[in-house]
Homo-oligomer: A and B are copies of this chain.
Amino acid sequence: MVSGPSMRGLCLFVLGVLMISPLANAQQQSPISLMPIPSSVQIGSGRLLVDSKFSVGSTGYTEPRLDRAIERFLRQLSRQTGIPLAGKPSAPARAVLVIHTDHASKEIQELGEDESYVLEVTATGAKLTAPTPLGTLHGLQTFLQLVEVSPDGFTAPAVTINDRPRFPWRGLMIDSARHFVPLDVLKRNIDGLEAVKMNVFHWHLSENQGFRVESKKFPKLHEMGSDGLYYTQDEIHDLIEYARDRGIRVVPEFDVPGHSTAWFVGYPELASAPGPYEIERKWGVFDPAFDPTNEKTYKFLDQFFGEMAKLFPDHYFHVGGDEVNGKQWDANPKIQEFIKAHGLKNNEGLQSYFNKRLEPLVSKHGKSMVGWDEVLDPTLPKDIVIQSWRGPDALAAAAKQGFRGILSNGYYLDLGWPAARHYAVDPLSGAAANLSPEEKTRVLGGESCMWAEYINPENIDSRIWPRNAAIAERLWSPQETTDPASMHTRMEALANRMEWLGLTHKTYHRQMLQRIAGPSTPEEFTALSTLASVVEPVKDYTREETASAEPTSATPLNRLVDAVPLESATARHFGELVNKFLAASCHDAPAEARLRAQLTTWRENDAKLQPLAQRSFLVKEVSASSQDLATLGEIGLAALDLIAKGLRATDDWKAQQLATLQQIQKPKGQLLLIPAPAIQKLVEAAAAGGACSAAN
């Protein structure tokens, strides 16, 4: 599946083309900007005009799903261009884009089906050919990404694209249990997955904080475990159809034996302690766990899995298996006795026993079991799939034992990492890089994870997008596709384009800021936006520890920390500009002027924001960050002044600025001020005097 040498050559060529930034190319056509980058791209000459006469026809294999795909494609093309287009397929002889699909894909989409396609665009027409509808779907998305405004109308460049995925399992997990995620929000995110060619939606459906699926066999699960916030079986059917239409498998996860409080609200008899239980409102790892020594547990799960195995047609069935803290097991003498009696050593042994009992209940219903790292046990059938939150080494170890795996370590979207950090994580890195070719095929791909402690329908899209596109590219594109600058340029273009899918990652930002500000003058609102553009939420798992009160599922997510993107584009651009300036030994007048303008805006911003801070408690909360931003501006300008005058800063001055910068880098209002390290570079350059470039 990894591209061969000749293909690699093409890829590098493509990267070369794509790395021309829109800036460098300002007077000409925009460069093509595909994400994920295809296996092979050959640029032709000329451009295909997309106007109101544009049409699509198809030959070869057809099915209603393909007709719907064409209609959706035309609707989407119409939205992104603003050109009214006839919404139905045309006769292929007269169509501008002709699609040829060779044969059907599997009725129930399978892991590893052929997803390849070839797309040829010339100045007079376009042709998309694919062995199966899965490839056709991907090719249509590529075409949509090719169409851009140009001097002569909306056009697509002449190009020949040969494309296929590197990994067969490319997924996004959404936790709709901690916070319920309404169906329409899931749907627009599935549209997003289609756009970046991901093919698995992993649906995390049960947690301590909620059980989200209607069960007809065990109705107390959703009736008592969900606060009324659950998906009916009809809605689930609907979502699965929706995903299938987009070439996306739906893998359900019912997390056992831990993460299971919500099950026990209705069925306390399955737990390892008597109860009663209430839906958990806090975040963390909790004690309740299924009782693996109770035969009723297996009888219940057998029946429940049977019901769910019918509801979810995919061959893979996720049983969680992560993070059992063992406290209920420790406290239950009957369970400890069972461990001894069965020679299980300890709680890990007990969980292993549980998994071995579980696996037949899954396979009995025709499914392969998926679980987090913890489920791995050499004695389990090789049929199971390990989802690794621990990393590529764990994945490699599993592969060596003959188990298949998918990587999620490094792909947790909720941790707030920059896209480039996710992008650098390769499923075949670390120990996995040294696997044999056969073992490598056991590394199926990966899944990004959107855990839901701090998301709601307003901000979930901005937590997933656009960063998830970087992970999608990692899993689809050739391994050599690694340039973060190219990735960022294309990701930002895609972020704008994806709004036409109805995703709200950009729109809600302003609305949330408006709510934070309340009635405000344009100048005040701009000041809030300026601050918002350079802060990010605290990273990793520090949000709980930095909270003023313990957060719960009822905590409002209406603060600046909830409204800002997880990665600041402004701060990144500023950092790049500082690097450019320093790389030129501080002799780059245009860069210096831009730095000065930006730093001056920051220095003066707090004064403009203060009236708002007097009126809104949500602005008052970020007042310290705003003052810090003013200080950053001041320090940066002072450093620039020294550099401009050719003066060398004193050690005292340097020490003082660095101490201030250290204070500024501490989180306030759970926010980090991202440009601080770039300012530090300027300070160090000023202190280095004439040798300012050395500081870079």
Contact = CB atoms under 8 A, between A and B. Distances in A.
Contact of A573 (B33, B149, B517, B522): B522
Contacts of A573: 522
A58 B476 CA distance: 57
Nearest to A495: B514
B30 A150 contact: no
A149 B82 contact: no
A29 B614 CA distance: 8
B510 A82 contact: no
16 contacts: A26-B614, A28-B615, A82-B556, A82-B557, A83-B556, A84-B556, A149-B515, A150-B616, A150-B617, A151-B616, A151-B620, A496-B514, A496-B519, A500-B511, A522-B569, A522-B573
Interface string A485-524: 0000000110010011000001100111011111111100
A569 B615 CA distance: 23
Nearest to A83: B556
A516 B149 contact: yes
A553 B80 CA distance: 18
A149 B518 contact: yes
A523 to B, nearest CB: 9
A615 B150 contact: yes
Contacts of A33: 519
A545 interface: no
A518 B148 contact: yes
B80 A27 contact: no
A120 interface: no
B82 A512 contact: yes
B499 A149 contact: no
Interface string A542-571: 000000000001101110001000000110
Given A148-B519, A151-B615, A511-B500, A84 B554 contact: yes
Contact of A499 (B27, B514, B554): B514
A361 interface: no
Given A150-B615, A152-B617, A616-B150, A30 B83 contact: no
Q: Which 7 A-B pairs have the closest CB atoms?
A: A82-B558, A149-B518, A26-B611, A149-B616, A507-B507, A83-B556, A493-B519
A520 B493 CA distance: 8
A90 interface: no
Contacts of A570: 522
Given A29-B615, A151-B615, A617-B152, A558 B518 contact: no
Nearest to A618: B149
Interface string A143-183: 00000111111000000000000000000000000000000
A458 interface: yes
Contacts of A517: 149
Nearest to A26: B611
A484 interface: no
Contacts of A493: 519
A81 interface: yes
Interface string A642-657: 0000000000000000
A23 interface: yes
Interface in A563-617: 569-570, 573, 611, 614-617
A416 interface: no
Nearest to A521: B23
Given A27-B611, A611-B26, A515 B82 contact: yes
A268 interface: no
B556 A81 contact: yes
B81 A515 contact: yes
A81 B149 contact: no
A516 B496 CA distance: 12
Contacts of A82: 458, 512, 515, 556-558, 562
Nearest to A553: B84
A326 interface: no
Contacts of A80: 515
A521 B507 CA distance: 19
A52 interface: yes
Given A26-B614, A521-B23, A615-B151, A558 B510 contact: no
Contacts of A511: 499-500, 507
Contacts of A83: 556, 558
A360 interface: no
A89 interface: no
Contacts of A84: 553-554, 556
A302 B138 CA distance: 54
Interface string A609-650: 001001111101000000000000000000000000000000
A239 to B, nearest CB: 19
B153 A617 contact: yes
A402 interface: no
A50 to B, nearest CB: 11
Nearest to A518: B149
Given A27-B611, A150-B616, A510-B510, 7 more contacts: A81-B556, A82-B512, A150-B518, A151-B616, A492-B519, A493-B519, A499-B514
Nearest to A457: B79
Contacts of A430: none
Nearest to A559: B82
A26 B514 contact: no
A418 interface: no
A306 interface: no
A148 B615 CA distance: 10
A179 B615 CA distance: 44
A151 B617 contact: yes
A22 B517 CA distance: 12
B22 A556 contact: no
A567 to B, nearest CB: 15
A473 to B, nearest CB: 17
B499 A30 contact: no
Contacts of A558: 81-83
